[in-house]
Chains A and B, each alone.
Chain A
Amino acid sequence: MKKYFLSFFLIIAFAFYVMLENQSSISVVLNSPENSQPGGNAGNPAGSVAATVPSGSPVSGSAPIPSPITSSPSTPVATGLYRDGSYDGGSVNAYFGNVQVQAVVSGGKLTDVKVLDYPKDRTTSARINNAALPKLVQEAISSQSAQVDIVSGATQTSQGFQASLTSALAKAKS
């Protein structure tokens, strides 16, 4: 029995070490036959696309989630084409709330990433502030149901985001 405990402890210790080593970056490698082609960046395996996500680091006006989340580093999340469909990723604790995304696969490829949940602890309450900026038009925001081609918003960049997406893509694996 002792042996099992010792083995278990060693595995945990190693996992922890790996997590520490990789805390500053998580790589998700999307690699499908269609995407494969020689060349690319030095340091990346040919035919793969690596996305390195900094830990809670802002990209241009971005919204970082300072997250202690770690997941298995450099894990190829898919080695073949994905199956078509929508796949919900796991809800990942991102320090001050949960992050959950949905991967949309069409034609065997990732075509969209939707954010299902993100840290928030308030609802929208509209209150017109008449004192501010009298010259410009103001309005209380209200949600629209319109279908649009593209959505513009602050960048979702976080390890929590990445971890949830990784789990969503794992489900989409054929």
Chain B
Amino acid sequence: MLQETRILMGMPITVAIVDSEAKQSDLIRIFDYFQAIDGRFSPFKKTSETSAVDRGVPQRDWSHDMKEIAALAEKTKEETEGYFNLMTPDGKFNPVGVVKGWAIKNASDTLRKAGFRNFYIDAGGDIEAGGLNGHGGKWSIGIKNPFKQDEIVRTLFITDQGIATSGTYIRGDHIYDPHTGRTEHNIVSLTVVGPDVCEADRFATGAFAMGEKGIQFIEKTPRLEGYMIDKNGVATMTSGFLKFTIK
């Protein structure tokens, strides 16, 4: 298996291809793509298009990608009862919440178009798993213990699916919500499995912001399963979740 990790967009990104015809250049193409996405969408780079949009560049001058991201964000906001929001509390435009899953999905489609069937792309814990692993089995994915970073609490087996986890850090007795900066709810981590990583990611983000009722939202959304962990270490799972725990 050809595999490499690089630090891009402020997180480790791993690309792994099982298919024997994979070459180093196939990995590099994917990393170049993530680098280009970072350059375009980073809200922290003054030269990025995100910064330009924030400064008020009119919609007709946006790139195709930016329009696609904005449309996907709007769709997600509607689908998650307004919980998914690309505006930060201080009124800045921040599309990062939807860009990561979207970019992993696009990168995965690039690999598929190149003829690869068995691979995964992991960007900061959000994963698209294509086909089978190096041993011919489904990809095994551990859900990280939010209280002990080197431990996992559940193992899932997926193939041609995506998985994403939204979470918080615990600071004292407070849960710090990265979206609002406020102490809002008791949920520490929400993992969502979906038909692809883009779906898993945007719904994990949106449902996480709902707090405890987020898992109910995942339950009633077709094609999604979820595993939510609260600050007491109690997990709540959707009714179809356990099927992913079987090899």
User: Measuring CB to CB, which residues of chain A are less than 8 angstroms from any residue of chain B?
Assistant: 24-25, 28, 30, 34-35, 37, 39-44, 49-54, 57-65, 96, 109-129, 132-133, 135-144, 146-157, 162, 165
Contact = CB atoms under 8 A, between A and B. Distances in A.
B201 A132 contact: no
Contact of A111 (B3, B44, B146, B155): B3
Contacts of A35: 6, 28
B11 A157 contact: yes
Contacts of A146: 140, 142, 152, 155
Contacts of A125: 232-233
A165 to B, nearest CB: 7
B17 interface: no
B143 A152 contact: yes
B201 A124 contact: no
8 contacts: A37-B25, A54-B44, A61-B165, A61-B190, A61-B205, A110-B6, A110-B7, A154-B125
Interface string B211-231: 010011001000000000110
A63 B125 CA distance: 11
A44 B40 CA distance: 13
A59 B6 contact: no
Contact of A59 (B9, B39, B155, B204): B9
Most A CB contacts (10 A, CB to CB) among B44, B153, B234, B237 go to B234
B151 to A, nearest CB: 4
A74 B99 CA distance: 25
A155 B11 contact: yes
Contact of B146 (A41, A127, A153): A153
B120 to A, nearest CB: 6
Nearest to A115: B149
A39 B215 contact: no
Nearest to B208: A61
B139 interface: yes
Contact of A61 (B3, B170, B204): B204
B8 A153 contact: no
A34 B45 CA distance: 27
A150 B233 CA distance: 22
A50 B35 contact: yes
Nearest to A60: B100
A148 B171 contact: no
Interface in B28-80: 28, 31-32, 35-36, 38-39, 42-45, 47
A54 B142 CA distance: 27
Interface string B1-21: 001111111111010000000
A112 B14 contact: yes
A-B CB proximity, top 7 nearest: A154-B167, A61-B166, A153-B144, A155-B124, A58-B178, A148-B142, A53-B10
Contact of A150 (B120, B153, B172, B241): B120
Given A151-B141, A152-B191, A153-B125, 7 more contacts: A25-B45, A41-B35, A120-B148, A136-B219, A136-B236, A136-B238, A143-B145
A151 B142 contact: yes
B148 A143 contact: yes
B45 to A, nearest CB: 7
Contacts of A30: 6-7
B10 A143 contact: no
B167 A140 contact: no
Contacts of B107: none
B126 A149 contact: no
Contact of B7 (A28, A58, A139): A28
B216 A61 contact: no
A94 to B, nearest CB: 10
